[in-house]
């Protein structure tokens, strides 16, 4: 077979990036070559996200470019995979550019689908009809795929999914409809996967799940929870740091997880626990099973057990019926929770969700935008204050690599660049460049050093802080 080149593009969350990395690894094992250059690719795969409308719009715009490219390259194969493929199925084949549609449960078939398409260029969709029915066979195939291929995205770091799907049905969210029901992976499969990763040089593992803190697995007469997994992964030789995302604010296993964090130097002091809103009325309409007061209690408990824990949140502004008073309750929660950072999203109705079916999208676009900016400003003040406390401290940092965007500490950071400050211009000097890394608490640290430090742990003395970034000097 001719050397076939595949270009893969990923739009979406960490789960989606993990799928992309697994697919890339599987395609290489099947004899395909990966390329960064669309122009030389025989096939382009787009891994899609459906969580917000904006993500889907970006995919359509990309498909528009590919349609144009196909006028000159009619043999080019285009595949759409992931959540949008699951949501739209066959309908996506109506787009002129699209040859293959492959749902998240069918990714183990991707190499075969590509080969078939490259030989005969058909249009074909493989998507589960009812993803919420799950099924042993599909789970077994996904489990094998997951544990066979590896997904180290950055030097020294890897993501490991511990559970798939979600059962919570927050009214705004499409995830339960496109990713299917909750399914927890066996601890032994996770341990073996982490061991292989550690043998290959991985030092930090991030355990992934939509509601990762609800992980539960019955093995013989033992019930495993996330705390047990964290301990188990921390004991794999070579693993230095273990983290987990994303947590749902609820009680079960909470003390165990915090206890594991307090007792093991390997479990990072970081909790990503979305609140979504600070208004009890809105939380009820979102089908989130807690009040703002209860949520704050959970954070207080975390700080009592792990005093330096850093907490990150997610918020949706402009949920149907959100009043100014509701929004102020959210701003109040952001001030009280003292998040390290918050990811803030404008509500967008997702087809098939309870909110889209039953609640009118009443908050005008300009008000959503205004609330988004205001909430970011509230968060920025909190972040700036918290980050200031790091100045003149030494921190341990796992180096990600050269910061693609060369930053100055006096540069003003706009909130929209939140946590994306690694984009932009490449580093200039090869011997010493601006590096970016993260602390165990997930704080971003920028400092000068050799690119060869990527994937290792270093000490940095913090000299300056802005709301999103700590700046410092590498210590010998």
316 lines the binding site for ligand 5AD (CB under 6 A) = yes
CB of 315 to ligand 5AD, least distance (A): 6
Q: Considering only the stretches 137-145, 233-241, 342-350, 465-473, report the one whose residues sit in contact with ligand 5AD under the rule CB under 6 A.
A: 342-350
* Among ligand 5AD, ligand SF4, none, partner that 185 touches (CB below 5 to 8 angstroms by kind): none
* Among ligand 5AD, ligand SF4, none, partner that 348 touches (CB below 5 to 8 angstroms by kind): ligand 5AD
Listed in sequence order, the residues at least 6 apart from 207 whose beta carbon sits closer than 8 Å to its beta carbon are 160, 161, 162, 190, 226, 229, 230, 233, 242, 243, 244, 245
CB of 170 to ligand SF4, least distance (A): 3
Q: Which of 414, 417, 407 is nearest to 447 (CA)?
A: 407
348 lines the binding site for ligand 5AD (CB under 6 A) = yes
CB of 169 to ligand SF4, least distance (A): 6
18 lines the binding site for ligand 5AD (CB under 6 A) = no
52 lines the binding site for ligand 5AD (CB under 6 A) = yes
Which residues pair with residue 205 across a beta bridge? 158, 242
Name the CA dihedral angle for 89, 94, 96, 99, rounded to a multiple of 10 degrees: 40
Q: Which is nearer to ligand 5AD, 358 or 432 (CB)?
A: 358
In the sheet that holds 5-10, the strands lie side by side as: 33-34, 5-10, 43-48, 77-82, 100-102, 124-126
Q: Considering only the stretches 250-258, 343-351, 432-440, 460-468, report the one whose residues sit in contact with ligand 5AD under the rule CB under 6 A.
A: 343-351
* Among ligand SF4, ligand 5AD, none, partner that 81 touches (CB below 5 to 8 angstroms by kind): none
**Pattern of binders to ligand 5AD over 237-276, x per CB under 6 A?**
-------------------------------------x-x
Characterize 342-353 residue by residue with b for buried, 16 or more Cβ atoms within 10 angstroms of its Cβ, and e for exposed: bebbbbbbbeeb
* Among ligand 5AD, ligand SF4, none, partner that 347 touches (CB below 5 to 8 angstroms by kind): ligand 5AD
CB of 85 to ligand 5AD, least distance (A): 18
Q: Which is nearer to ligand 5AD, 52 or 62 (CB)?
A: 52
* Among ligand 5AD, ligand SF4, none, partner that 213 touches (CB below 5 to 8 angstroms by kind): none
173 lines the binding site for ligand 5AD (CB under 6 A) = yes
> Rounded distance, CA 40 to CA 24, Å?
17
177 lines the binding site for ligand 5AD (CB under 6 A) = no
* C-alpha dihedral sign at 79, 80, 86, 90: negative
Q: DSSP string covering 423-468, please? A: -SSPP--SSSEEEEEE-TT--EEEEEE-GGGTTSEEEEEEEEE-SS
Q: Which of 236, 165, 232 is nearest to 201 (CA)?
A: 236
* C-alpha dihedral sign at 434, 435, 439, 444: positive
Q: What are the residues binding ligand SF4 (CB under 6 A)?
A: 166, 168-170, 173, 175-176, 210-211, 248
- What three-state secondary structure class fits 222? strand
Binding footprint of ligand 5AD, residue count (CB under 6 A): 12
Q: Considering only the stretches 64-72, 345-353, 393-401, 449-457, report the one whose residues sit in contact with ligand 5AD under the rule CB under 6 A.
A: 345-353
347 lines the binding site for ligand 5AD (CB under 6 A) = yes
* Among ligand SF4, ligand 5AD, none, partner that 210 touches (CB below 5 to 8 angstroms by kind): ligand SF4
Q: Which of 101, 84, 73, 78 is nearest to 11 (CA)?
A: 84
> Rounded distance, CA 258 to CA 266, Å?
13
* Among ligand 5AD, ligand SF4, none, partner that 60 touches (CB below 5 to 8 angstroms by kind): none
In the sheet that holds 270-272, the strands lie side by side as: 270-272, 310-317, 341-346
Residue whose structure tokens are 């964090």: 261
Instruction: List interacting residues with ligand 5AD (CB under 6 A).
Output: 51-52, 172-173, 274, 276, 314, 316, 345, 347-348, 350
């Amino acid at each position: 077979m001719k050397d076939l080149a595949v270009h893969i593009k990923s739009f979406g969350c960490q789960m989606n990036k993990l799928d992309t990395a697994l697919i890339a690894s599987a395609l290489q094992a099947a004899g395909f070559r990966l390329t960064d250059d669309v122009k030389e690719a025989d096939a382009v795969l787009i891994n899609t996200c459906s969580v917000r409308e904006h993500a889907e719009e970006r995919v359509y715009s990309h498909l528009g470019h590919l349609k144009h490219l196909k006028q000159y390259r009619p043999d080019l194969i285009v595949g759409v995979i992931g959540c949008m493929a699951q949501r739209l199925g066959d309908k996506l084949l109506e787009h002129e550019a699209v040859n293959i549609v492959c749902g998240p449960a069918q990714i183990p078939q991707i190499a075969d689908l590509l080969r078939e398409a490259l030989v005969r260029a058909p249009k074909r969709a493989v998507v589960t009809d009812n993803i919420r029915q799950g099924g042993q066979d599909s789970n077994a195939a996904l489990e094998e795929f997951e544990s066979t291929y590896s997904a180290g995205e950055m030097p020294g770091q890897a993501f490991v999914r511990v559970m798939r799907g979600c059962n919570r049905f927050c009214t705004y969210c499409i995830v339960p409809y496109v990713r299917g029901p909750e399914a927890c992976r066996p601890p032994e499969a996770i341990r073996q996967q982490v061991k292989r990763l550690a043998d290959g040089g991985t030092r930090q593992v991030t355990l992934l799940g939509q509601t990762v803190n609800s992980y539960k697995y019955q093995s013989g007469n033992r019930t495993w929870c996330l705390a047990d997994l964290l301990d188990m992964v921390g004991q794999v030789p070579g693993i230095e740091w273990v983290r987990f995302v994303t947590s749902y604010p609820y009680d079960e296993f909470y003390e165990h997880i915090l206890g594991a964090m307090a007792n093991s130097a390997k479990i990072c002091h970081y909790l990503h626990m979305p609140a979504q809103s600070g208004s009890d009325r809105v939380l009820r309409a979102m089908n989130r099973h807690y009040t703002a007061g209860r949520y704050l209690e959970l954070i207080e408990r975390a700080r009592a057990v792990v005093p330096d824990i850093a907490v990150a949140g997610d918020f949706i502004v402009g949920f149907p019926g959100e009043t100014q008073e509701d929004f102020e309750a959210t701003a109040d929660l952001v001030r009280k929770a003292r998040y390290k950072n918050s990811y803030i999203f404008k509500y967008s109705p997702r087809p098939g969700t309870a909110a889209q079916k039953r609640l009118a999208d009443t908050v005008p676009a300009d008000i959503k935008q205004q609330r988004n900016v205001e909430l970011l400003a509230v968060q920025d003040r909190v972040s700036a204050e918290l980050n200031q406390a790091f100045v003149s401290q030494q921190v341990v940092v796992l180096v990600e690599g050269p910061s693609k965007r060369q930053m100055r500490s006096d540069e003003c950071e706009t909130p929209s660049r939140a946590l994306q400050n690694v984009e932009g211009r490449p580093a200039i000097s090869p011997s010493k460049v601006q590096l970016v890394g993260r602390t165990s608490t997930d704080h971003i640290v920028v400092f000068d050093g050799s690119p060869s430090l990527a994937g290792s742990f270093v000490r940095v003395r913090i000299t300056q802080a802005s709301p999103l970034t700590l700046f410092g000097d590498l210590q010998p």
